C-alpha cells in the first residue's frame, strides 16, 4: 500500500502500542510544552524588547543575544541541560531549552515593532503632553503589536518543532511516535507522527497569521488601503 495512506489510516485507527499515549494526549503534551515555554519566554523577552525599542538603549546587546541564541543547536542544548539538571528533572531541562529558543524571536519582535514606528508619530504624542508611559502603552505598543505577534509566531513554530525531539528523552508529545516507530520499523507510525507535527505547525502558523492581521490598528489598515488604491501616475512620454 501507499505509505502515506498507511500513515493516515494509522492516525484515524486510534490503535496505539502498549505504553504509548493516545494522539489527543500526545497533542496535549505537545501544546502544553509549547505554549508554557513561549509564555515564560514572553514574560522575559517582551518587556526587555519594549524597553530597548522605547529608549533606544541596549539595541546592540539585544541583537547579539538574539543572534547567539539562534545559533545554538536545539537538540544539543536539550541533551546538555538534561545532563546538567539530572535525569529526574527532564521536564525542567526541556522547558529551559524551549524558553531559550523562543526568546530571540520574541525579543526581536518586541523591539523592532517599536523601532518601526514613524518618529513623527512619537513626537506628536509628546507634543500633546503624553508622558513616556502613556506613549509606550497608547501609541508604541498598539502600533508595534503586529511585529510582536510576528515574533510570537516565529517563536511558537520554533518551539513546537523542537518539542518533537523532546520525546528522545522521554517527555512525550507527538515525537513519541517518531522516536518509538523508528527502531520498530513502523513506517506508518513514524510518518503518521511527522504528518501530525506538520499539520499542527501549519494550523498554528495560520492562526498567528490571521491574528497578526487582526491586530493592525484600523487607522493603519485604512491608510495602507488608500495607498494601494491610489492610481500610479503614468510615465511622461
What's the mean pLDDT when you consider all of the chain?
85
pLDDT of residue 89: 85
pLDDT of residue 222: 47
Structural domain boundaries in the chain: 23-177
pLDDT of residue 209: 94
- CA pair distance 170, 78, nearest whole angstrom: 12
Domain 23-177: which CATH class?
mainly alpha
pLDDT of residue 237: 43
Measured from the Cβ of residue 9, the count of other Cβ atoms closer than 10 Å reads 14
| Residue ranges for the chain with pLDDT beneath 50 | 222, 228, 237
Grid cell 487607522 is found at 219
**Alpha helices in the chain, H assignment, sequence order:** 3-13, 23-55, 59-70, 74-85, 90-115, 119-127, 132-134, 141-163, 175-184, 187-214, 218-229
Give me the phi and psi of 236, to 5 degrees please: -65, 140
Grid cell 499515549 is found at 21
Please check whether residue 203 is in contact with residue 192, taking contact to mean a CB–CB distance below 8 angstroms: no
Q: Which residues contact 165 (CB under 8 A, 6 or more apart)?
A: 74, 75, 78, 175
Q: Model-level pTM?
A: 0.85
- CA pair distance 139, 127, nearest whole angstrom: 13
DSSP three-state, residue 15: coil
Amino acid at each position: 500500500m501507499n505509505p502515506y495512506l498507511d500513515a493516515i489510516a494509522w492516525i484515524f485507527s486510534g490503535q496505539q502500542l502498549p505504553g504509548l499515549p493516545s494522539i489527543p494526549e500526545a497533542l496535549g503534551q505537545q501544546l502544553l510544552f509549547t505554549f508554557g515555554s513561549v509564555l515564560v519566554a514572553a514574560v522575559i523577552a517582551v518587556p526587555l524588547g519594549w524597553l530597548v525599542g522605547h529608549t533606544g538603549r541596549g539595541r546592540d546587546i539585544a541583537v547579539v543575544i538574539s543572534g547567539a541564541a539562534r545559533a545554538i543547536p536545539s537538540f544539543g542544548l536539550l541533551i546538555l541541560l538534561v545532563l546538567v539538571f539530572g535525569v529526574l528533572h527532564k521536564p525542567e531541562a526541556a522547558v529551559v531549552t524551549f524558553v531559550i529558543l523562543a526568546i530571540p524571536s520574541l525579543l526581536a519582535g518586541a523591539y523592532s515593532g517599536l523601532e518601526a514606528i514613524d518618529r513623527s508619530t512619537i513626537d506628536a504624542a509628546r507634543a500633546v503632553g503624553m508622558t513616556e508611559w502613556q506613549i509606550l502603552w497608547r501609541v508604541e505598543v498598539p502600533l508595534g503589536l503586529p511585529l510582536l505577534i510576528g515574533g510570537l509566531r516565529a517563536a511558537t513554530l520554533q518551539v513546537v518543532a523542537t518539542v518533537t525531539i523532546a520525546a528522545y528523552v522521554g517527555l512525550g508529545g507527538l515525537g513519541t511516535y517518531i522516536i518509538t516507530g523508528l527502531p520498530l520499523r513502523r513506517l506508518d507510525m513514524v510518518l503518521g507522527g511527522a504528518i501530525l507535527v506538520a499539520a499542527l505547525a501549519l494550523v498554528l502558523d495560520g492562526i498567528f497569521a490571521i491574528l497578526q492581521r487582526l491586530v493592525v490598528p484600523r487607522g493603519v489598515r485604512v491608510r495602507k488601503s488608500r495607498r494601494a488604491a491610489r492610481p500610479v501616475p503614468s510615465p511622461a512620454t
